[in-house]
Amino acid sequence: MRQYITRRLLQMIPVLIGVSIVIFFILQLAPGDALTGKMDGHLTPERKQELRHQMGLDLPVHKQYLRWAGGMLHGDLGESTTFKQPVGKVMNTYIWNTFYLSILSLILSVLISIPIGVISATKQYSKFDGFFTIFALIGISMPSFFFGMLLIKIFAVDLLVLPVSGMSTAGSTAVGITHALDIARHMILPLIVLTLGSVAGLMRYTRSSMLEVIRQDYIRTARAKGLKEKVVIYKHALKNGMIPVITLLGFWLPALFSGAFITESIFGWPGIGPIDIGAVSGRDYPLMMGINILFAILTLFGNLIADVTYAVVDPRIRLK
pLDDT tens across 101-159, in order?
A: 888 988 998 899 999 999 999 998 899 999 999 988 888 888 888 999 999 999 999 99
Instruction: State how far the Cα of 307 lies from the Cα of 309, in Å rounded to an integer.
Output: 5
| pLDDT (mean) for 224-247 | 85
In this prediction, residues 303-316 reach a mean pLDDT of: 76
Residue 132 confidence (pLDDT): 92
User: Is the residue at 176 inside a domain?
Assistant: yes
Number of domains in the chain: 1
**Would 14 be classed as within a structural domain?**
no
What's the confidence (pLDDT) of residue 188? 94
Is residue 253 included in any domain, yes or no?
no
Q: Which domain holds residue 169?
A: 94-244+260-269
Q: Which pLDDT score is estimated for 309?
A: 80
Please indicate, yes or no, if residue 292 is contained in any of the structural domains: no
Q: Is residue 143 part of a domain?
A: yes
Whole-model pTM? 0.82
- Whether 171 is in a domain gets the answer yes
- Rounded to an integer, the average pLDDT of 242-267 is 77
Give domain status of residue 316, yes or no.
no
- Residue 129 in any domain: the answer is yes
In tens, the pLDDT along 55-80 reads 777 788 888 899 889 988 888 888 88
Confidence band, pLDDT 50/70/90 cuts, at residue 40: low
Please report which confidence band the pLDDT of residue 201 belongs to, taking 50, 70 and 90 as the band edges.
confident
Q: What percent of the chain has pLDDT over 70?
A: 92
pLDDT for residue 191: 92
Q: What pLDDT score does 17 carry?
A: 92
